[in-house]
Amino acid sequence: MSLLDRYYTDEHHMFRDAVRKFYEKEVTPNADLWEKEGIVPRWVWKKAGEQGFLCPWLPEEYGGVNADFLYSFIMTEEMAKTRCSGFFIPLHSDIIVPYINSYGTKEQKDRWLPGCVTGDIITAVAMTEPGTGSDLAAMRTTAVRDGDSFIINGQKTFISNGLSCDLVIVAAVTDPNARTPYEGMSLIVVEDGTPGFEKGRKLDKIGLHSQDTAEMAFVDCRVPAENLLGREGGGFYYLMEKLQQERLVCAMGSQVGAEEAFRVTLDYMRTREAFGKPITRFQYISFELAKMATEIEMGRAFLESCLIDHLDRKLDVKRASMAKYWICEMLNRVVGKCVQFHGGYGYMEEYPIARMFRDAKVQTIFAGTSEIMLLIISRQLGL
């Protein structure tokens, strides 16, 4: 029995059915094509918006339905079955748009949020810079106040939705003389087409081929001061506040990814024979499958516990970091074994496990590496 069963309503189940049908019709048949093209087309974002699948948690005044976070989890669960990890609805709906809703002014919300719901506005967030990685204190992008504008200069990299985005939330240093680097950082919204905002090359990644990850450059990019998100100097603290949900989103994707990889592998192995019998009859293999199944069950129980805490606004930094660390690492252990048990076929692109394998690794890197998660957890333990 799932820990979440008592939280699901008939509306949740109806939403799941609608999401599943949408993915089956619009996403799964196109996943291979999008992998080759290296981007998810805008029309599918629009169709998702028409169905109410983008940011359903937003208030009705902006086009949402005040949905709870379980709707986001349902979206992630059903997406895993499409094997199209490049359609980054969770990034848009559950990681980036919440910044605008939480810290934006009424004018900013009225201006941007309705388009985020309809799919007319695709979002991105630009934190990482060449050479800085997880070290936000080393950020070099600057935003200098000039009258009623900010002039942004700097470079960003590894930006998901980097080519398709219509607006990007940029982390930049607005006060180089602040007491600490963290207190001098702000968030500024830059819209596509702003002079000086340049979308760079699409990065050639190991996995997530249908997800457009790109570089960005800001060269004397003049942005209205009214595009400042929240208070000046509050950027780092806003990022920290939202990172718990971001890390939970990563754990969600990894958990359902592990479950789908295991299901695919079990189906394959039940039909695969060696030395005159199904390979699942070999004790070593059956024991390894039992270990994987146990880890997946443990991950599901911990994730659902964290989801319940999040629904009750009780999820703390330590548990969010633990979930991100352990479940993302578990996914990689599982898919590695799954590829091995497919034998040579596991290395063939025509088998879904190959894509799952190359898409999995990044989960231990973005939104804070596993090593950063361990550092956070150790500090939360007082070490």
Positions annotated as catalytic residues are 246
Distance of CA 369 to the CA centre of its chain: 14
CB 153, CB 142: distance < 8 Å: yes
Q: What is the spatial distance between Cα 349 and Cα 206, in angstroms, rounded to a whole number?
A: 13
- How many whole angstroms separate alpha carbon 110 and alpha carbon 104? 10
Residue 306 token pair? 């964290």
Query: How is residue 7 annotated by DSSP?
Result: G
List helix spans (H) across the chain.
10-22, 31-37, 42-50, 70-80, 89-90, 97-103, 106-118, 235-269, 283-311, 317-342, 352-360, 370-380
DSSP for 192-210 reads TT-TTEEEEEEP--SS-TT
Amino acid at 100: I
In degrees rounded to 5, what are phi and psi of residue 122? Answer: -105, 135
User: Tokens standing for 122?
Assistant: 């695709």
Tokens 């950027």, located at residue: 235
Strands 123-126 and 167-173: parallel
Angle between helices 317-342 and 370-380 (to 10 degrees): 140
Q: Within 13 Å and on the Cβ side, how many CA atoms surround 340? A: 10
Q: Is 70 exposed, middle or buried (0-12, 13-18, 19+ CB in 10 A)?
A: buried
Backbone angles phi, psi at 135, to 5 degrees: -85, 85
Token couple for 265: 């592998």
Query: Which tokens sit at 108?
Result: 């900013």
